[in-house]
């Protein structure tokens, strides 16, 4: 892994860059509120104009997302350049009911990884999108032991 000196430690990304990164990826985590607690579901998605579309089956994910505010996070890394990114989209999840919309989505090759019936197409229309790009810390710093002051604060 080599670090690019031209990349700042952390940089906020403009929406245009966030959409570019989302278009280059297809796996994210969908955060929803279920009863009295948050839940996170892995999903595969596609960007459709400036919204995100995914397929799901009946169940907790669908019931907790449909018609409600959700968040989706996608991340990626270029380990050769020593850079990672994270994008968060927040918005309302709505069902795609019209046949032309669903067929257009199918045309984007939106096929879930997990087997089973996934006949619900959901669109997330963003109310906000934010992202950041950052240098990846050297691996030796990832799992270092806690110093005594930090350990005392956690106990």
Indicate the SS3 state at residue 18: helix
Predicted TM-score (pTM) above 0.85? no
**pLDDT 10s digits, 90-129:** 999 999 876 676 666 665 667 777 888 888 889 999 999 9
Closest residue by Cα to residue 28 from 79, 85, 105: 85
Pairwise CA distance, residues 48 & 68, whole Å: 19
pLDDT above 60 (res 40): yes
What are the phi and psi torsion angles at 145 (to 5°)? -65, 150
Give the alpha-carbon dihedral of 33, 34, 38, 43, to 10 degrees: -80
């Amino acid at each position: 892994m080599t670090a690019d000196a031209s990349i700042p430690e952390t940089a906020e990304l403009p929406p245009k860059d966030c959409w570019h990164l989302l278009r280059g990826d297809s796996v994210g985590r969908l955060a929803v509120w279920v009863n009295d607690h948050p839940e996170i579901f892995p999903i595969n998605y596609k960007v459709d104009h400036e919204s995100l579309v995914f397929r799901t089956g009946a169940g907790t994910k669908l019931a907790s997302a449909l018609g409600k505010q959700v968040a989706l996070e996608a991340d990626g890394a270029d380990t050769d350049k020593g850079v990672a990114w994270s994008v968060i989209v927040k918005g309302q999840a709505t069902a795609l009911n019209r046949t032309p919309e669903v067929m257009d989505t199918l045309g984007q090759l939106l096929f879930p990884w997990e087997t089973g019936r996934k006949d619900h197409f959901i669109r997330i229309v963003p109310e906000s999108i934010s992202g950041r790009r950052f240098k990846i810390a050297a691996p030796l710093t990832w799992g270092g032991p806690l110093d005594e002051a930090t350990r005392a604060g956690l106990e």
